[in-house]
Structure 1
Amino acid sequence: MKKTSLFLVLLMVCGGLAAQEMEVSSDAIKSDTLKNAVDSLNVTAPVDSLQNATQKKVVPAVKKKVELPTLEVRNFWRLMQNFRREYNAQLERWDDIYLLITGIRPNPDYYKLSMPATYYEAPIEQAFSISDWKPQIPFIKENVLDAQLPQVADLRHSVQVDKAVNRQLLSFYLSYPSLVKQNEENLKGLKPIYGEVLVNQPRKENLLDMMQNDELPNRVTEKDLLVIKPNFWTFGGNGYLQFSQNYISKNWYKGGESTKSLLSGFTWQANYDDRQRIQFENKIEWKLGFITAPSDTVHSYKANNDLLRLSSKLGYKAFSTWYYTLSAEFKTQFFSNYETNSDNLVSAFFSPAELNVGLGMDYKFIKDGVCNLSVLVNPINYTLYSVASDRVDPTKFNIEAGHKRESVWGSRLESTLKWKMFSILMWESRLSYTTNYEKVLGEWENTFTFTINQYLSTKLFVHGRFDDGVTREEGRSYFQLQELLSFGLSYTW
């Protein structure tokens, strides 16, 4: 309707111009001339209405010789006809989604508008930013000399284009929020394709060789295949070296002793995951800490934290996030530990040593970079307690007096959690519960790491233990507790 109205207006203008240049002596000649003009413009408006309008304005006069439209009028009609033809052609090209438009040089500054509707953070930040705002002080006059100096061309074209694109995107977000399906966070993991693209020039085939060849011409043979096997192994770990120090003078009113402590730790993991059925996890870790002992007249320092542990799990996917799992764990310590003011050996290397082998199921919940939870349930579990040294009391480690080894069948529950609670706080927890349905051995290890930067951190280690299979001293509980707070170097790879 709008197009028809536009052409009617243009036609009326043309009629007025033509009426000034030509005088018609007959109504028939006048009608024929007007009809030819309308046909040349390809306008579908009724001709009778135009004739009536012309008849009202032009009074029949004396018959004169018919004059053709002037050159200017004919050029104007031709211009309008070409405009209509090009306008319709442009509309058809716009509606054709399969049309390949060539000749347009791509500009990477407008990539946000050429991609599917995506939510970007830059338009929101730009809308709330005040970086370009400057206060206007009415008491300071403008420097006239600065305006007269020759100005350097603005080289921030890409920055200005990006700001304009951000304003357009913000308007689009507000007007059509339901059309924005993609998020900028999902695009951060995408990587470009590196390397050169090699194009092999096709060689001319000999028809006789193709007829004698047993292989089809378009079939890919084994020698033409390049198979790249994915790497399902991932490796990682962390290490730390931390210390603490406490000084108390000899005449301190509450008494006490000055102490120094050193704590080191190392963890290394090698995991296999084919993303389909099989998972194979391996981990080795040690913790080693020493503390000075001023009250011990025999030893100048003691080992307050000593652990060497190797663990392995082989899982086959059952359903969802559950895996049939065969697990094994071995742990012992490095150095010997003695009683205070005595040479009585309490523990040593392989004294004690503990081995757990179980068969069960493992539940996993993994959220990359935030949480990693594993709950292992072994209805069938075998535990071997061993003491290698003759100087160590075996009854403190679930072994009967006079024996060096003890085999126990039962069940076991083990849960490990690694949770990044905040950007600077990481919580690592390990809970194990082993029982032969007569005795219980439970341990709960918690490590809170407060990260200062990439190389400095503070660690709080809390270890609780319950063991009712050992000999309990009178007045003492089966529950044991160890806590250590330290500060120092830390690195994760």
Structure 2
Amino acid sequence: MNPKHIYVLMVLMQVAMAGVAQRRGQYGTIRPVKTDTSLIVKAYMDSLVACMERIDSVIEMESFYGQIHPDGRHYRLFAPLTFYHSPASRVLEYAPRTVVDKVVDAVDATMLHIYLNRPDLVANTESRLKKVGTIRNDIKEPVHHNIEFIDKVGSVPDEPVYVPVEVMVKRPNFWTFGGDGNMQFMQNFISENWHKGGESNYSMVAGLTLTANYNNKKRLKFENKLEMKLGFQTSKSDTLHKFKTNNDMIRYTGKLGLQATKRWYYTLQVLAYTQFTTGLKSNDKKVYSDFMSPFNLNLGLGMDYSVEALNKRLTGSVNLSFLSFNFRYVDRKRLAKSHGVRGNHHTLEDFGSQLTTSLTWKITDQIRWQTRLYGYTTYERALVEWENTITMNVSKYISTNIFIYPRLDDSRKRDEDWNYWQFKEYCSLGLSYQF
């Protein structure tokens, strides 16, 4: 055997022994050699750089001689370090090779260099790999993949990062509008021989309420309410009038408030009311009232309390006007005296105090009670009106109304039976609508 081959064989045996053997302890136990991981990684990276330089030099030489083989024969340099048989076989082979592959020789020489200098980096052997699965040696040529494009996707246009957005800021609307209307009918038939007497009659009453309120949710509010009612009735006993009014009113209530506390407001209240047409009595030609006869205007300065109770089922307001100015105008001069105007005048002015309470109690979803208590006094005369309307909804558009209206006015002539009290009441069934 050639002495050179014997020397290489001895070196390989030493490398194998150094790579497999471990440092033995005092009692023959195997102790792993402690190595610095960072140094190992650095040394491995340095070896890879050196290998790449050698491979590049080989490729340059092959390109110079016109023999370029860009294939995957360099994988051993970059795969986990494995002890392959070919580097040692090529060194120990006796007969000269007929086919020389410079790339394979360079890779084997590089692997042998690593085996001799850094045997501790060898993680696996070719024998173990063959037990797991054979190594493919049949691939001699590089594998090229043909990629077929089915659809060519066009370039996506660049879009600006910030897209301008049109912002529209609306001014808050502090106004709320509402209202309700109703038309009620009543028919009463009594035969002429009815044992208790009486007469047949027909009656109708219509009402409309409109509201327009302003509240800026800070300190200012402005409330407006317009109420209109007009009713007629007929009776056989009245030979002078085919029909006459039984309910006639036009009333406006306005309040301008400046908030003092959570529920109290400093308030200026305006109250104005008159009627649509003439007021008559059965079998009497005399006209007792008419449009603008009288017309009442009341200005009150005071405090207003906002009511909200019973889980918001009871709502409304209570207005106390400590200083109130009342103006009364009677267009028909011959009616002036009966409405408190003295002398040959059309007007009456006086000062006093007033109380106005307006509440709505939603007892159930079908029953609602609306009440208004108004009182005015000059400390010489007094006027008290208490209007009560109980509405019972039969359906969404059909309802029954019960209206009860007691009134006290000591400026009028005293009646023997009722004293200064007056009273009105009716019950009706008809149409109603809220909006």
**In the alignment, structure 1 residue 299 sits paired with structure 2 residue 259:** no
Of 148, 155, 162, which aligns to 1:202? 162
| Amino acid paired to 1:352 | P
| Amino acid paired to 2:209 | T
| Amino acid paired to 2:328 | Y
> Would the aligned equivalents of 2:245 and 2:280 in 1 still touch at CA under 8 Å?
no
Residue-by-residue CA offset, 1:412-459 (whole Å, 9 max, x unaligned): 111000110111110000001100111110100000000111100000
**In the alignment, structure 1 residue 378 sits paired with structure 2 residue 321:** yes
Displacement, 1:402?
A: 3.3
> Would the aligned equivalents of 1:413 and 1:432 in 2 still touch at CA under 8 Å?
yes
> Would the aligned equivalents of 1:354 and 1:386 in 2 still touch at CA under 8 Å?
yes
Quote the Cα distance in structure 1 between the aligned partners of 2:180 and 2:160.
Answer: 47
Displacement, 1:395?
A: 3.1
> Would the aligned equivalents of 1:345 and 1:391 in 2 still touch at CA under 8 Å?
no
**In the alignment, structure 1 residue 488 sits paired with structure 2 residue 430:** yes
**In the alignment, structure 1 residue 313 sits paired with structure 2 residue 255:** yes
Quote the Cα distance in structure 2 between the aligned partners of 1:346 and 1:200.
Answer: 81
> Would the aligned equivalents of 2:271 and 2:299 in 1 still touch at CA under 8 Å?
yes
| Amino acid paired to 1:290 | F
What TM-score do you get using the length of structure 2 for normalisation? 0.61
> Would the aligned equivalents of 1:263 and 1:287 in 2 still touch at CA under 8 Å?
yes
Task: Pick closer, same or farther for the CA change 1:299–1:226 going to 2, 3 Å.
Answer: same
Identity level (%): 41
Task: Pick closer, same or farther for the CA change 1:486–1:365 going to 2, 3 Å.
Answer: same
> Would the aligned equivalents of 1:240 and 1:265 in 2 still touch at CA under 8 Å?
yes
Residue-by-residue CA offset, 1:345-368 (whole Å, 9 max, x unaligned): 111101111111011010002358
Q: Which runs of no fewer than 5 residues in structure 2 stay unpaired? A: 1-26, 32-158
How many corresponding residue pairs?
280
**In the alignment, structure 1 residue 411 sits paired with structure 2 residue 371:** no
Quote the Cα distance in structure 2 between the aligned partners of 1:461 and 1:203.
Answer: 64
Displacement, 1:466?
A: 0.3
Displacement, 1:228?
A: 2.1
Residue-by-residue CA offset, 1:35-92 (whole Å, 9 max, x unaligned): xxxxxxxxxxxxxxxxxxxxxxxxxxxxxxxxxxxxxxxxxxxxxxxxxxxxxxxxxx
Q: Of Structure 1 and Structure 2, which has the larger fraction of its residues in helix?
A: 1
Quote the Cα distance in structure 2 between the aligned partners of 1:399 and 1:474.
Answer: 23
> Would the aligned equivalents of 1:293 and 1:302 in 2 still touch at CA under 8 Å?
no
SS at match of 1:319: coil
> Would the aligned equivalents of 1:395 and 1:470 in 2 still touch at CA under 8 Å?
no
Task: Pick closer, same or farther for the CA change 1:401–1:346 going to 2, 3 Å.
Answer: farther
Of 159, 175, 194, which aligns to 1:233? 175
Quote the Cα distance in structure 1 between the aligned partners of 2:338 and 2:333.
Answer: 13
SS at match of 1:343: strand
Displacement, 1:200?
A: 7.8
Write the mapping of 1:228-377 to structure 2, written as runs, cut at 5 A: 228-366=170-308, 370-377=313-320
Task: Pick closer, same or farther for the CA change 1:272–1:203 going to 2, 3 Å.
Answer: closer
Quote the Cα distance in structure 1 between the aligned partners of 2:333 and 2:410.
Answer: 23
What TM-score do you get using the length of structure 1 for normalisation? 0.54
> Would the aligned equivalents of 1:361 and 1:377 in 2 still touch at CA under 8 Å?
yes
| Amino acid paired to 1:388 | D
Partner of 1:80: none
Displacement, 1:298?
A: 0.6
Displacement, 1:295?
A: 1.4
Residue-by-residue CA offset, 1:97-143 (whole Å, 9 max, x unaligned): xxxxxxxxxxxxxxxxxxxxxxxxxxxxxxxxxxxxxxxxxxxxxxx
Displacement, 1:296?
A: 1.4
| Amino acid paired to 2:358 | T
Considering Cα pairs closer than 8 Å and 6+ residues apart, tell me whether 1 or 2 has the greater RCO: 2
SS at match of 1:396: helix
Q: Of Structure 1 and Structure 2, which has the larger fraction of its residues in strand?
A: 2
Partner of 2:146: none
Quote the Cα distance in structure 1 between the aligned partners of 2:193 and 2:417.
Answer: 33
Partner of 2:369: 427
Displacement, 1:390?
A: 2.9
Task: Pick closer, same or farther for the CA change 1:200–1:365 going to 2, 3 Å.
Answer: farther
Partner of 2:382: 440
Displacement, 1:255?
A: 1.2
> Would the aligned equivalents of 2:340 and 2:412 in 1 still touch at CA under 8 Å?
yes
Deviates more, 1:226-235 or 1:346-355: 226-235
Quote the Cα distance in structure 2 between the aligned partners of 1:340 and 1:373.
Answer: 38
> Would the aligned equivalents of 1:328 and 1:356 in 2 still touch at CA under 8 Å?
yes
Q: Which runs of no fewer than 5 residues in structure 1 stay unpaired? A: 1-27, 33-198, 205-222
> Would the aligned equivalents of 2:413 and 2:420 in 1 still touch at CA under 8 Å?
no
What is the RMSD of the two structures over their aligned residues, measured on CA atoms? 2.5
Quote the Cα distance in structure 1 between the aligned partners of 2:211 and 2:161.
Answer: 47
Partner of 1:477: 419
| Amino acid paired to 1:379 | F
Rg larger for = 2
Quote the Cα distance in structure 2 between the aligned partners of 1:224 and 1:257.
Answer: 73
Quote the Cα distance in structure 2 between the aligned partners of 1:417 and 1:241.
Answer: 22
